[in-house]
Amino acid sequence: MSTSTTLGDTRPEWAQRQERERRHRRAKSRLRLPLAVAAACQAVLLLWWAAGYPAFTGTAAGGGAPLYDAAVRVLHPAGVTLAQTAAVAFALGHLVAALARFGVRGRWSGPVAVALAALPPTGSLVVSLSPEVPSTAGALLLTAAGLRLLARRAEGTLHRGGPAQRLDLTVLFSAIVLLALTGPRGAGAALIAALVLLPALPRARGRLALLTAAALAVPIALALLGHPAARAGDLHPLRAADLALAQYRDPGGADRELTAVAPPAAWDAAGADCSSTAALTDRWDSAAAGRAQDELAAAWRKLLREHPDRVLDARLCRGRLAWSVWAGAGGPHAATEVPEASPSSHGLLRPLHSAADWSRTLLRAPQLDWLLWRGALWAYLGLAAALLYAWRHRLPALVPVAGAAVLGTQLSLTASAAGQDYRTMAVALFLGPLLLTLATVRTGRGASA
């Protein structure tokens, strides 16, 4: 019989058994790298957890993300931070596995992931009470799932489905839900990222759209059931800060609505220091601001209608962290905000806590601010590495897939940033260095099965 007519189903039993064994070994080999990376990251993050117990920064629910606040109340701060270490370790391992599909060797991506778990700016964040931690984990998972789906597209297997692809779609759905439940900013970032992914994955476009709609509907459904997880957030300080900068740019006499909340000097000072809403809220009468909320909202709508450029000016000033490598110099709130260790953070071992606090303080040297505490540099470096890979391997879709989560974060931060808190751009601090490993892949070693 000609070998050309020999089909897989007619091969001898021993040949079929060998093929199954080869596939099993290949699957085990693929699992080895992400499991090893996740385990190493988890071990390092457990040291941070022990050093910062119960939480390195943050002491109580803050009100910005109701579902996260509820988890803190139910699970205790130590339980939440411990869960965060597991989520981030898994996300890092999953992302390393996704990069391996594009030829990135574990000897490059693995140490980078472990270093991210160990460095104080990123390691201490994971064991802090902040909705930015699950938001960051969700963004990492979203990027990993998108990269794995893109690898299947490059292999020509995206239309076939199968258990592995269903797993990728499940991870993508979970990532979007996680982002959406952390608050309006996370939901906005998830929506923007999903819209960027849709054109890059045409064979899975319908499923991606349905999964995104279903994921974003979760907080809405919770709100309809009486849970405030989809609360729109407090737009009052954001709008008032917009008015402050507009008043500073065009001092034509303060409106009565503004002077009822704070004296003209306070509005001028807040406008000069436009990097944070705290420049105004620290100076105003909060009770009077609450009573004048409707009047301030009307004044803001008038400003948006007549001078939209001034609203954009204010939002870009507060969103500087998303785009600028260096901090601004326009007032005391322009510096990168790094929360101090919580007074309740004592650690399970006092020497370990002291060492963690000392190392974090050491790296707060102003000369290192742009490198270690601001995500913009790493966002650009990661994008540059993706562009280089896309050019080398003729895979232009890699650029939007790799940058979707960071772009979504940057745009949502521009729209709703309240200050210069470094945690809001933490996804770039994690994702950028890992994407940078794409530059190590030589031509000829592209997306692999």
Residue 3 lies in a domain: no
Cα dihedral angle (280, 317, 370, 120), rounded to 10 degrees?
50
Q: Six-digit token pair at 382? A: 């990661």
Examine the domain organization and report whether 310 and 430 are in the same domain. Answer: no
Q: Is the pLDDT of residue 260 over 90?
A: no
Examine the domain organization and report whether 56 and 201 are in the same domain. Answer: yes
Examine the domain organization and report whether 314 and 375 are in the same domain. Answer: no
Residue 2 lies in a domain: no
Q: Quick one: the chain helix, strand, coil %, rounded to 5?
A: 75, 0, 25
Boundary (domain end) residue, out of 318, 351, 385: 318
Q: Six-digit token pair at 233? A: 């957030």
Peptide bond into 54 cis (omega under 30): yes
Residue 13 lies in a domain: no
- Residue 442 is given by DSSP the state P
Residue 277, classed as helix, strand or coil, is coil
Task: Please give the pLDDT value at position 60.
Answer: 54
Residue 10 lies in a domain: no
Residue 210 lies in a domain: yes
Task: Please give the pLDDT value at position 228.
Answer: 54
Q: Is the pLDDT of residue 388 over 50?
A: yes
Q: How many CB atoms lie within 10 A of CB 31?
A: 12
* Residue 190 · residue 178 · CB < 8 Å: no
Task: Please give the pLDDT value at position 254.
Answer: 60
Task: Please give the pLDDT value at position 329.
Answer: 85
Task: Please give the pLDDT value at position 4.
Answer: 41
Examine the domain organization and report whether 221 and 241 are in the same domain. Answer: no
Examine the domain organization and report whether 370 and 436 are in the same domain. Answer: yes
Quick: pLDDT tens for 176-221: 999 998 988 999 999 999 999 999 998 889 999 999 999 999 887 8
CA–CA distance, 128 with 135 (Å, rounded to integer): 13
Task: Among 241-255, 289-303, 413-427, name the one with the lowest average pLDDT.
Answer: 241-255
Task: Please give the pLDDT value at position 368.
Answer: 98
Task: Please give the pLDDT value at position 8.
Answer: 47
Examine the domain organization and report whether 60 and 152 are in the same domain. Answer: yes
Structure confidence at residue 28 as a pLDDT band (50, 70, 90): low
Distances (CA, A) of 354 to 342, 349, 372: 13, 9, 20
The model's pTM: 0.91
Examine the domain organization and report whether 251 and 112 are in the same domain. Answer: no
Give the whole-number percent of the chain exceeding pLDDT 90: 71
Examine the domain organization and report whether 314 and 191 are in the same domain. Answer: no
Instruction: Count structural domains, the chain.
Output: 2
292-301 average pLDDT score: 90
Residue 248 lies in a domain: yes
Residue 96 lies in a domain: yes
129-154 average pLDDT score: 96
Boundary (domain end) residue, out of 318, 352, 381: 318
Quick: pLDDT tens for 310-344: 999 999 999 999 999 999 987 889 999 999 999 99
Boundary (domain end) residue, out of 289, 318, 347: 318
Examine the domain organization and report whether 65 and 193 are in the same domain. Answer: yes
Amino acid at residue number 149: L
Residue 111 lies in a domain: yes
Examine the domain organization and report whether 91 and 170 are in the same domain. Answer: yes
Q: Is the pLDDT of residue 43 over 70?
A: yes
Residue 37's nearest CA partner among 104, 101, 91 is: 91
Quick: pLDDT tens for 110-136: 999 999 999 999 999 999 999 999 999
- Domain limits at 272? 236-318
Residue with the two structure tokens 């007032």? 331
